[in-house]
Chains A and B, each alone.
Chain A
Amino acid sequence: MQPPVKYTLRIFWQKKGNSKYVSHLDTQRAVVRALIRSGLPLYYSQGFNPHPKLVFALPVSIFQEALYDVFDIDITERISPKRAAEMLGAVMPGDTPVIGAAYPVKKFKELYAASYLISLDTDLKAAEVEKALRGEVVVEKKSKKKCEMTDISPMIYGVSAVDTDRGVILKATLSAAPDAYLNPKYLVDFLGDKVRFSETVREMLFDKEMQPLK
Chain B
Amino acid sequence: MNTERIKHLLAKVEKPGRYTGGEYGELIKDKNTVDVRMAFCFPDTYEIGMSNLGVKILRHCLNSLPYVWCERAYAPWDDMEREMRKEGVPLYALESGDDLKDMDILAFTLQYELAYTNMVNMLDLSGIPMLAADRGEEYPLVIAGGPCAYNPEPVADFVDVFSIGEGEFALCELVALYRECKQLGKTKEQFLREAAKLKGMYVPSLYTVSYKEDGTIAAFTPKYEDVPAVIEKTFLTDMDSAPFPTEHELSFIEAVHDRMVLEVFRGCIRGCRFCQAGMVYRPVREKSPDTLNAQAKALYKSTGYNEISMCSLSISDYSGLGEALEKLLGWTEKERVNLSLPSMRIDSFYAELMEKAMNVRQSGLTFAPEAGTQRLRDVINKNISEDEIMAGCAAAFDGGRSSLKLYFMNGLPTETNDDIRGIAGLAQRIVDLYYSKKRSKGKGGVSVTISVSCFVPKPFTPFQWMPQDRIDELKRKQLLLKECITTRKISYNYHDSEVSFLEAVFARGDRRLSAAIAEAVRRGQRFDSWDEFFDYGKWMQIFEDTGIDPEFYANRTMGFDEILPWDHIDCGVTKEFLIREAKAAIAERTTPDCRTRCSACGMQDKGCTVCKKGGKE
Q: In the complex, what residues of A have CB within 8 A of residue B10's CB? A: 21
Q: In the complex, what residues of B have CB within 8 A of residue A29's CB? A: 254, 258
Q: Is the interface of B mostly helix, strand, loop or mixed?
A: loop
> Is B302 a contact of A19 with CB atoms below 8 Å?
no
> Is A92 a contact of B24 with CB atoms below 8 Å?
yes
> Is B22 a contact of A33 with CB atoms below 8 Å?
no
Asked if B23 is at the interface (CB within 8 A of a chain A CB), the reply is: yes
CA distance A196 to B192 in the complex (A): 50
CB distance from A90 to the nearest CB of B (A): 11
Q: In the complex, what residues of A have CB within 8 A of residue B595's CB? A: none
Asked if A197 is at the interface (CB within 8 A of a chain B CB), the reply is: yes
CB distance from A76 to the nearest CB of B (A): 14
Asked if A95 is at the interface (CB within 8 A of a chain B CB), the reply is: yes
Q: In the complex, what residues of A have CB within 8 A of residue B20's CB? A: 18, 21
> Is A197 a contact of B254 with CB atoms below 8 Å?
no
> Is A18 a contact of B21 with CB atoms below 8 Å?
yes
Asked if A181 is at the interface (CB within 8 A of a chain B CB), the reply is: no
Q: In the complex, what residues of B have CB within 8 A of residue A26's CB? A: 17, 252-254
> Is B253 a contact of A33 with CB atoms below 8 Å?
no
Q: In the complex, what residues of B have CB within 8 A of residue A44's CB? A: 336
Which of B17, B22, B301, B304 has a CB less than 8 Å from the CB of A34? B304
Q: In the complex, what residues of B have CB within 8 A of residue A33's CB? A: 24, 250, 303-305
CB distance from B189 to the nearest CB of A (A): 40
CA distance A44 to B333 in the complex (A): 13
Q: Which residue of B lies closest to A34 (CB)?
A: B304
CB distance from A200 to the nearest CB of B (A): 11
CA distance A87 to B10 in the complex (A): 33
> Is B8 a contact of A94 with CB atoms below 8 Å?
no
> Is A36 a contact of B17 with CB atoms below 8 Å?
no
On chain B, which size bracket covers the interface?
20 to 34
**B:63-83 near A, CB below 8 Å:** none
Asked if A71 is at the interface (CB within 8 A of a chain B CB), the reply is: no
Q: In the complex, what residues of B have CB within 8 A of residue A91's CB? A: 24, 304
Q: Fill in one digit per residue for B1-29: 1 if any A CB lies within 8 Å of its CB, else 0.
A: 10100011011000111011111101000
Q: In the complex, what residues of B have CB within 8 A of residue A30's CB? A: 24, 250, 252
> Is A36 a contact of B306 with CB atoms below 8 Å?
yes
> Is B306 a contact of A34 with CB atoms below 8 Å?
no
> Is B23 a contact of A197 with CB atoms below 8 Å?
no
CA distance A22 to B22 in the complex (A): 11
> Is B22 a contact of A17 with CB atoms below 8 Å?
yes
CA distance A143 to B11 in the complex (A): 23
Which of A21, A27, A37 has a CB less than 8 Å from the CB of B16? A21
> Is A18 a contact of B250 with CB atoms below 8 Å?
no
> Is A18 a contact of B301 with CB atoms below 8 Å?
no
Q: Fill in one digit per residue for A13-44: 1 if any B CB lies within 8 Å of its CB, else 0.
A: 00001110111011101101111110000001
Asked if A212 is at the interface (CB within 8 A of a chain B CB), the reply is: no
Q: In the complex, what residues of B have CB within 8 A of residue A197's CB? A: 7-8, 11
Q: Fill in one digit per residue for B507-545: 1 if any A CB lies within 8 Å of its CB, else 0.
A: 000000000000000000000000000000000000000
What are 11 A-to-B residue pairs whose CB atoms are below 8 Å? A19-B22, A21-B3, A21-B19, A22-B252, A22-B253, A23-B15, A29-B254, A33-B250, A37-B302, A93-B22, A93-B252
Q: Which 10 A-B pairs have the closest CB atoms?
A: A33-B304, A36-B304, A18-B22, A93-B24, A37-B304, A18-B20, A21-B16, A21-B17, A22-B17, A22-B252
